[in-house]
Amino acid sequence: MSRLQSAFAKGPALVTFVTGGDGPTDTILDALVEAGADVIELGMPFTDPMADGPAIQQANLRSLGAGTKTADIIRIAADFRARHPGTPLVLMGYANPMTIRGPEWFADQCRKAGVDGVICVDIPPEEDQELGPALRAAGVSLIRLATPTTDAARLPAVLEGSSGFLYYVSVAGITGLQQAAQASIEDAVARLRAATDLPIAVGFGVRTPEQAAAIAKVSHGVVVGSALVELVGQHGADAPKAVFDLTKALADAVHSARESA
Amino acid sequence: MNAEHQKNSFRNQPDDRGHFGQFGGRYVAETLMPLILDLEREYNKAKADPAFQAEFDDLLEHYVGRPSPLYFAPRITEELGGAQVWFKRDELNHTGAHKINNCIGQILLAMRMGKTRIIAETGAGQHGVATATVCARFGLPCTVFMGATDVARQAPNVFRMKLLGAEVRPVTAGAATLKDAMNEALRDWVANVHDTFYIIGTAAGPHPYPELVRDFQSVIGREARAQMLARTGRLPDLLVAAIGGGSNAIGLFHPFLDDPSVRMLGVEAAGYGLDKDHAASLAGGRPGILHGNKTYLLQDEDGQIIEGHSISAGLDYPGIGPEHAWLKEVGRAEYTSVTDDEALDAFQLLCRTEGIIPALEPSHAIAAVKKIAPTMGKDQIILANLCGRGDKDIFSVADHLGVEL
């Protein structure tokens, strides 16, 4: 069983996102794991994060402003893998930094660093050749996004060639702003479950333990990003403590759905 | 079979997935993908619909003022002492630039699709003004995203947009210029896909935008080709046009692509010089993925985007339309660049010799003409696109020339 499969096999999983190179990332990642996060998403900073709201935009700019390079992100991932052999790590970001040296180069770096999966915001299934074949050949999961606009006719194309889990973007919009209505999430997850055996993690706009608990009851995982990234922005070098506290509350909320299930 | 659909034509791009060779494509978030596919279907239907074309043509004639004149410029020809210099006068269009051609086409598409709200990005404000204009004409609410830096340095256009009823939303992210305005427009679009149409201002972005913007702007080249044949009985030897995203250039070039005797030259903005800050993505960039398409981009070794610089806010973009990237790669069009200073000289040359105040964008094309015309014979013809008028630029030109207004 892969690390991603194991993480979702225990019941609803907490998936946490932080931007690499923003604040003391190594320590922040340790805090996430220690507080109970089941899957780690590490954001690769990009100058033009078109799908992100203000919180993650700022994190991208802070990271690049601090001089973060792609090599630093790979180093953070490899060190994480050495410290946490069992926790799945996923890189999330935009097409250009991932493909600029060629998809094979990137897939090979991911494999060597022990990265389990990649989420690329702006490579839809129609352009899969840019990254998908290289990742699959390297044994790295390509994790795709499904959204409220992904209709039944389109869903098979989204699922084709994807693995690890399916990331359901619960609102048509950018990260960190609105929260979707619980009923619409339930409907959407039910629709997705009928089409795939992949675990379904729900994200965009999830901030509080209460929201996370409600979503965990109807899905395989809950993704929290902007709320954590905001803490990194507020607390800087002291962020690990604040990140730990919120993650602990979120993890407890998500994992409580395991017993009640 | 029509000549332009033959297999070896340069005019049958993109392929059915929106690729111009290795360039173009649809690199967008999943939320937008269904809408992009819907737009493609709707555009294909519109292209085949004589009523759509008739309405487009009618508006171009009676609202925009087309056809624009084809003008032989005797004094600049004499001064340069070589090839005959002709201008396609798209600066005489309503709103003062070629941008309106595309906006008319896109708002007709938006209404066909039942969209009730329009968004756009703008750099110098010309596309913003053109979009606000068609929105006023058709009574649709309009939001224009504009970098806060550009809002400050393009105050007259901001006021024009507001007079036309548009909301101008300043964007403070990044360097607060055109690239950031485009990011913000995409963020708005992704959150409002159900009712909103994004009128992209240049022949770039995800497929089908590069194709449809080119098609709407190709009125420039179709008219120019027919006018030149009618006036001189022959085709021009060389076409010249300025390139930011490249919509006026592709509009001029496309109808001539299968005329092998016609050379074409696109002119990028070399800013302070290609070894300093500039906006020449073909000369100084390499292929990458941004804003929905694969094309030449100014970027560092990690694929982080580098801000462009040009004296012309309309050329100040770190990418270029994908069809130009392809035309460069297959060698059908040539590309060069001119600096801010060369463009300023050319701006003054046209004012002085022909009584035409050009925008800083076509001043780049004129600067290239100034270099090339003397190397060509007097029986040869250069046709340059005068894609915008310079009223909007007199303040920044005065500033650069050290004149206080």
Q: Which domains does chain B have, with CATH numbers?
A: 29-61+99-213 (3.40.50.1100), 66-96+218-400 (3.40.50.1100)
Contact B30 A150 (CB under 8 A): yes
pLDDT above 70 coverage of chain A, percent: 99
pLDDT at B260: 97
Contact B183 A144 (CB under 8 A): no
Question: CA A183, CA B58: separation in Å to the nearest integer?
Answer: 49
Q: Residue B149 — pLDDT band, cuts 50, 70, 90?
A: confident
Which of helix, strand or coil describes residue A43? Answer: strand
Which of helix, strand or coil describes residue B106? Answer: helix
pLDDT of A188 higher than 60: yes
Q: Tell me which chain A residues have a C-beta less than 8 angstroms from the C-beta of B180.
A: 48
Place of tokens 């919180």: A55
Q: How are beta strands B381-385 and B238-242 bridged, if at all?
A: parallel
Contact B31 A172 (CB under 8 A): yes
In single-letter form, the type of residue at position A208 comes to T
- On whether the CB atoms of residues B312 and B363 are closer than 8 A, the answer is yes
Q: Least CB-CB distance to A48: which of B25, B32, B179?
A: B179
pLDDT at B7: 67
Mutate to test the interface with A, among B37, B286, B289 (most CBs of A within 10 A): B289
pLDDT digits (tens, 9 = 90+) for B41-96: 999 999 999 999 999 999 999 999 999 999 999 999 999 999 999 999 999 999 99
Helix and strand element counts for chain B (H, E): 16, 14
Question: CA A167, CA A75: separation in Å to the nearest integer?
Answer: 25
- On whether the CB atoms of residues A207 and A156 are closer than 8 A, the answer is no
Distance from CA of A190 to the nearest CA of B (A): 19
Residue B142 zone, left/alpha/beta (φ > 0; ψ -120 to 50; rest): beta
Question: CA A143, CA A202: separation in Å to the nearest integer?
Answer: 13
Q: Least CB-CB distance to B305: which of A48, A124, A146?
A: A48
Q: Tell me which chain A residues have a C-beta less than 8 angstroms from the C-beta of B35.
A: 149
pLDDT above 70 coverage of chain B, percent: 98
Q: Tell me which chain A residues have a C-beta less than 8 angstroms from the C-beta of B297.
A: 96
As a residue count, chain B comes to 405
Structural domain boundaries in chain A = 3-7+13-260
Q: Give φ, ψ of B25 to 5 degrees.
A: 90, -170
| Contacts A–B by Cβ distance under 8 A | 115
Please indicate if any CB of chain B lies within 8 Å of the CB of A242: no
Q: Is the peptide bond before B14 cis (omega within 30 degrees of 0)?
A: yes
Please indicate if any CB of chain A lies within 8 Å of the CB of B17: yes
Distance from CA of B127 to the nearest CA of A (A): 21
Please indicate if any CB of chain A lies within 8 Å of the CB of B148: no
Contact A122 B288 (CB under 8 A): no
Neighbour count for residue A72 (Cβ, 10 Å): 18
Contact B301 A97 (CB under 8 A): no
Place of tokens 């999983």: A13
pLDDT at B1: 39
A202 or B5, greater pLDDT: A202
Question: CA B386, CA B89: separation in Å to the nearest integer?
Answer: 5
Task: Of A132-141, B253-262, B274-283, B308-317, give the lowest mean pLDDT range.
Answer: B308-317
pLDDT of A261 higher than 70: no
Give me the DSSP letters along B24-84: EEEE--TTTHHHHHHHHHHHHHHHT-HHHHHHHHHHIIIII-PSPPEEE-HHHHHHHTSSE
Q: Active-site residue A186, yes or no?
A: no
Question: CA A159, CA B219: separation in Å to the nearest integer?
Answer: 42
The alpha carbon dihedral of B163, B166, B172, B173 has a sign of negative
Question: CA A242, CA A219: separation in Å to the nearest integer?
Answer: 26
Q: Tell me which chain B residues have a C-beta less than 8 angstroms from the C-beta of A166.
A: none
Place of tokens 């333990």: A209
Mutate to test the interface with A, among B20, B28, B30, B35 (most CBs of A within 10 A): B30
In the stretch 57-96 of chain A, residues with CB closer than 8 A to chain B read 57, 61, 64, 69-70, 94-96
Which of helix, strand or coil describes residue B380? Answer: coil
Contact A147 B30 (CB under 8 A): yes
Q: Using alpha carbons, select from A37, A188, A41 the residue that is nearest to residue A202.
A: A188
Distance from CA of A121 to the nearest CA of B (A): 6
Beta bridge partner(s), residue B265? B240, B334
Q: Active-site residue A108, yes or no?
A: no
Please indicate if any CB of chain A lies within 8 Å of the CB of B35: yes
Please indicate if any CB of chain A lies within 8 Å of the CB of B193: yes
pLDDT digits (tens, 9 = 90+) for A203-215: 998 999 999 999 9
pLDDT (mean) for A163-190: 91
Please indicate if any CB of chain A lies within 8 Å of the CB of B172: no
pLDDT digits (tens, 9 = 90+) for B242-276: 999 999 999 999 999 999 999 999 999 999 999 99
Q: Tell me which chain B residues have a C-beta less than 8 angstroms from the C-beta of A158.
A: 30
pLDDT (mean) for B17-31: 97
Question: CA B223, CA B225: separation in Å to the nearest integer?
Answer: 6
Distance from CA of A157 to the nearest CA of B (A): 11
Distance from CA of B164 to the nearest CA of A (A): 28
Please indicate if any CB of chain A lies within 8 Å of the CB of B195: no
Question: CA A228, CA B403: separation in Å to the nearest integer?
Answer: 52
In sequence order, which residues have a C-beta less than 8 Å from that of residue A179 and are 6 or more positions away? A170, A171, A205, A206, A207, A211
Element (H, E) at B23: strand B23-27
Element (H, E) at A223: strand A221-224
Q: pTM for the complete prediction?
A: 0.96
Q: Tell me which chain B residues have a C-beta less than 8 angstroms from the C-beta of A97.
A: 302-304
pLDDT at B6: 56
The three-state (H, E, C) secondary structure of B317-359, written as one string? CCCCCHHHHHHHHHCCCEEEEEEHHHHHHHHHHHHHHHCCCEC
Q: Tell me which chain A residues have a C-beta less than 8 angstroms from the C-beta of B29.
A: 50-51, 121-122, 124, 145, 147
Buried b / exposed e along B67-82 (16+ C-beta atoms within 10 A): bbebbebeebbebbeb
- On whether the CB atoms of residues B131 and B201 are closer than 8 A, the answer is yes
pLDDT at A194: 96
pLDDT at B145: 97
pLDDT digits (tens, 9 = 90+) for A14-72: 999 999 999 999 999 999 999 999 999 999 999 999 999 999 999 999 999 999 999 99
Please indicate if any CB of chain B lies within 8 Å of the CB of A249: no
Q: Is the peptide bond before A54 cis (omega within 30 degrees of 0)?
A: no
| CATH fold group of domain A3-7+13-260 | TIM Barrel (3.20.20)
Please indicate if any CB of chain B lies within 8 Å of the CB of A144: yes
Beta bridge partner(s), residue A60? none
In single-letter form, the type of residue at position B194 comes to H
pLDDT of B209 higher than 80: yes
Distance from CA of B294 to the nearest CA of A (A): 9
Place of tokens 């007097």: B378
Distance from CA of B139 to the nearest CA of A (A): 26
- On whether the CB atoms of residues B391 and B357 are closer than 8 A, the answer is yes
Q: Tell me which chain B residues have a C-beta less than 8 angstroms from the C-beta of A148.
A: 31
pLDDT at A257: 87
pLDDT of B4 higher than 60: no
Question: CA B83, CA A208: separation in Å to the nearest integer?
Answer: 71
Please indicate if any CB of chain B lies within 8 Å of the CB of A130: yes
